[in-house]
Structure 1
Amino acid sequence: MPYYIKGNKIELLKNGKDYFAAVIQSIKKARKSIFIEAYIFSHDVTGKKILTALKEASQKGIKVYLLLDGFGSRDLSQKVINVIKASKIHFLFYHPKISPYQMKRISLRRLHRKMILIDHEIAYIGGINIIDDMHVPNGKGPRIDYAAQLKGPVVHLISLSMVKLWKRVSWSHLEKSFIPKNFQKQIAEYPNGTKLNFIERDNFRHRQDIEKAYLHAIENAQDEILIANAYFIPGKRFERALIAAAHRGVSVTLLLKGEIDYFLSNATRAFYGKFLKEGITIFEYTKSFMHSKVAVIDGTWSTIGSSNIDPFSLLLAREANIFIWDKSFASQLKKNIEEDIRLGGTEILLKDWDKSHLIKRIKSRIAYFIIRISLGVANI
């Protein structure tokens, strides 16, 4: 079993309603510092609430660091950026003005992590951007997504990661980091706390860490694998691992996004025929817009994070997941995923997929082909 840090507290947060309420409360209680990393920061109803809380914190002398992806947050106007900077909030873009559409490796390396750190004591991690639940493609809200609030020794690892990245991006902008030297602090364990492991993906020492953590759990699964992932285009090893699990009698269920927000999302459906023939159960979430990146295996192992199961997350972007070894938390997350399936899931049956859905099958093959070609052009 991979290494886990004991003595932590974790709270599951579903959707922006619960997540942002907890985040704003933590921001208001902050004493020294606030770090935020996000792929998307939208200046909508929710984004304005977060920005107001950050400005109020900055006015109280709390150091606020806001790091956003230059492509994901490209719609943030210069006027809003000027307001942020005027509020004495330290603000940086990760890879500004670099478009993934250029199909260069550097262009596809985005900051996809969604993390918040309060006073180096409390951390939030998951798949939720700074964006309103009802602000979704096709107008079909609310968005379904997950995050977690963390306390305990594992927060120290998140603190080191966020500070390190802020310093690196500051250096690339030829700016000072404005981070005090003695920011680190000792974090006590909680008695009978939860075992957690923070795993990040970067393009240096941790290129395959998240995928390896998934594969280790899948390859050792004995009873059940339940994955809910919005952008699911697995590589060959991941694909083989799921099929092998199904062959040895493990129940494998996938909850995938039914609402297609851009054409390449169709590539997920290129796997349906093969997976269904191998005994893997597939549901599409069609009630609203699903953005989940969570999984539960054998009722004990679970994960929440920013990483999709696609080549952009697993091979290119900066990602961050928390891996949990705890039966109680796994049970809670499983119940939530099963509720998503019950309330909004449509099962994809092999007989229906093979005999109908011709247009969907054609689109999926074209989208998958484009992705493979694009990765080849980018030399990935």
Structure 2
Amino acid sequence: MIPRELWPHFSEGNAITLLETGAEFFPALALAIDHARKEVFLETYIFRHDRIGELITDALVRAAERGVVVSLLVDGFGSRDFVASHMNLLVDKGVRMLVYRREVGRLLLRRHRLRRLHRKLATIDGRIAFVGGINIIDDHNTALPDHPRHDYAIRIEGPLLQPIHDSARRLWELVAWASFRQRLRLKDTLEPRTDAAGKISAAFVIRDNLRHRRDIETAYLDAIANATDEIVIANAYFLPGRRVRKALTGAADRGVRVIILLQGRVEYALQHYATKALYPALLRHGVRIFEYHRSFLHAKVAVIDGHWATVGSSNFDPFSLLLAREGNVIIRDDGFARRLRERLDHAISTGATELEPSRWRHKSLFKRGLHWIAYALVRFAVGLSGYGGDRDTAER
């Protein structure tokens, strides 16, 4: 067992750039793929055939045509339409493609259906990586086309490439083996370039259903427990279990400013209203809650005490913390944390509204009851996926 003081594994000497929304992320990803010479790994939950999907598809095909080994892994639920309509076209053009848990019937209620590939990452030639929460989908393709989904990713160079590249390789091998696609098993891949590229200390943390089931949650809990000044969390889907809620309210009780930026618009009604069941208890302890209305919030980031930050794919809900494969980068750097905090402050000031505690104290019993019914239904769905019998896990 890894000694607690050595986890997570931080590497020094990284260069990490914050990318805000698809306007910054998609051109950077396409450019990196266009400069690839040997190898591209790309993992995503959603790959949609739209304006952005075509941009990235074209870059992948161009890379494959010039001899780059291009490996694309998509989720069978989030990318099911793309798999049905475009997978064979990409394969015919030389792109190696695998599907994580392919959908065999949309109406089937299978026990493990909610265990998805939710992480979004890419590695190019073992020298550049991207990690974040942005899917391959036009982020203007919403009910509010003038305002894109608000989300973040990061571009990475340096020693952190080693664990990101290793993780992408292991998952590809696992899916190839489970899919009986032996011809897509990896042969020799290049070694990541791990010499220093900057001065940032960072760690790559994953969540899977084996050895790393609680690593992301534990990293959050450790940072929250050690916070002395401020905790800022921006999350699209926020439905944490008892331990996380207790950690946040405990931080607020000891004088830490706790600010949570959440989705204000209804995207998935059940999760949206289930989250509201948690508002009264958080507000009662002095946690400040802001709802983002300018567009759809899709962020999964946090800044704590001005020097600890995380950017990744993991929401604060049971689907991310208990079921899905996720990937986050934890960054210990004042400059990066300050930059992310500034962008979150801008999002709050230009697109969010703070909830007044008095408003929630006077909610009718009927509305409170509806929120708790939604909460119970979400927990029931988690139970159907195999975690309902574990009381400790079900409460997390």
Q: TM-score range by the shorter chain?
A: over 0.9
1:165 matched to 2:165: no
Q: Alpha-carbon deviation of 1:167?
A: 0.7
Report if the CA contact (8 A) 1:100-1:108 is conserved: no
1:327 matched to 2:334: yes
Task: Report the Cα distance in structure 2 between the residues aligned to 1:316 and 1:103, rounded to whole angstroms.
Answer: 15
Correspondence list, 1:213-362, <5 A: 213-265=219-271, 266-356=273-363, 361-362=368-369
Partner of 1:92: 98
Secondary structure of 2:112 counterpart: helix
Task: Report the Cα distance in structure 2 between the residues aligned to 1:100 and 1:309, rounded to whole angstroms.
Answer: 26
Partner of 2:394: none
The 1:62/1:91 distance shift into structure 2, 3 A limit, reads: same
- For 1:157, the aligned partner's letter is P
Correspondence list, 1:149-164, <5 A: 149-164=155-170
Partner of 1:31: 37
The 1:285/1:149 distance shift into structure 2, 3 A limit, reads: same
1:364 counterpart (364, 371, 386): 371
Listed as ranges, the gaps of 5+ residues in structure 1 are: none
The 1:88/1:328 distance shift into structure 2, 3 A limit, reads: same
Report if the CA contact (8 A) 1:69-1:112 is conserved: yes
Task: Report the Cα distance in structure 2 between the residues aligned to 1:99 and 1:372, rounded to whole angstroms.
Answer: 23
Report if the CA contact (8 A) 2:176-2:185 is conserved: no
Partner of 1:187: 194
Task: Report the Cα distance in structure 2 between the residues aligned to 1:101 and 1:271, rounded to whole angstroms.
Answer: 30
Report if the CA contact (8 A) 2:237-2:317 is conserved: yes
- For 2:116, the aligned partner's letter is R
Q: Alpha-carbon deviation of 1:98?
A: 5.5
Secondary structure of 1:109 counterpart: coil
Task: Report the Cα distance in structure 2 between the residues aligned to 1:78 and 1:103, rounded to whole angstroms.
Answer: 20
Deviations 1:181-209 (A, max 9, x none): 24224521135x10000000001110000
Report if the CA contact (8 A) 1:269-1:360 is conserved: no
Deviations 1:37-93 (A, max 9, x none): 000001010011110111111110111111000000112153322211111100111
- For 1:26, the aligned partner's letter is A
Partner of 1:63: 69
Report if the CA contact (8 A) 2:165-2:192 is conserved: no
Secondary structure of 1:64 counterpart: strand
Judge which range, 194-203 or 346-355, deviates more.
Answer: 346-355
Task: Report the Cα distance in structure 1 between the residues aligned to 2:137 and 2:361, rounded to whole angstroms.
Answer: 38
Task: Report the Cα distance in structure 1 between the residues aligned to 2:107 and 2:242, rounded to whole angstroms.
Answer: 25
Report if the CA contact (8 A) 2:20-2:151 is conserved: yes
Q: Alpha-carbon deviation of 1:178?
A: 4.6
Partner of 2:11: 5
Deviations 1:213-255 (A, max 9, x none): 0000000000000000000000110010001000100000000
Listed as ranges, the gaps of 5+ residues in structure 2 are: 388-396
- For 1:285, the aligned partner's letter is Y
The 1:357/1:101 distance shift into structure 2, 3 A limit, reads: farther
Deviations 1:122-144 (A, max 9, x none): 00000000001111256573110
Report if the CA contact (8 A) 2:133-2:151 is conserved: yes
Report if the CA contact (8 A) 1:100-1:107 is conserved: no
Percent identity reads 44
Secondary structure of 1:76 counterpart: helix
Report if the CA contact (8 A) 1:36-1:117 is conserved: yes
The 1:53/1:362 distance shift into structure 2, 3 A limit, reads: same
Give the TM-score normalised by the residue count of structure 1.
0.95
| Alpha-carbon RMSD | 1.8
Task: Report the Cα distance in structure 1 between the residues aligned to 2:384 and 2:320, rounded to whole angstroms.
Answer: 17
The 1:184/1:105 distance shift into structure 2, 3 A limit, reads: farther
Deviations 1:318-348 (A, max 9, x none): 0000000000000000000011100111111
Report if the CA contact (8 A) 1:103-1:378 is conserved: no
Deviations 1:89-109 (A, max 9, x none): 001110001679755442111
- For 1:241, the aligned partner's letter is A
The 1:180/1:196 distance shift into structure 2, 3 A limit, reads: same
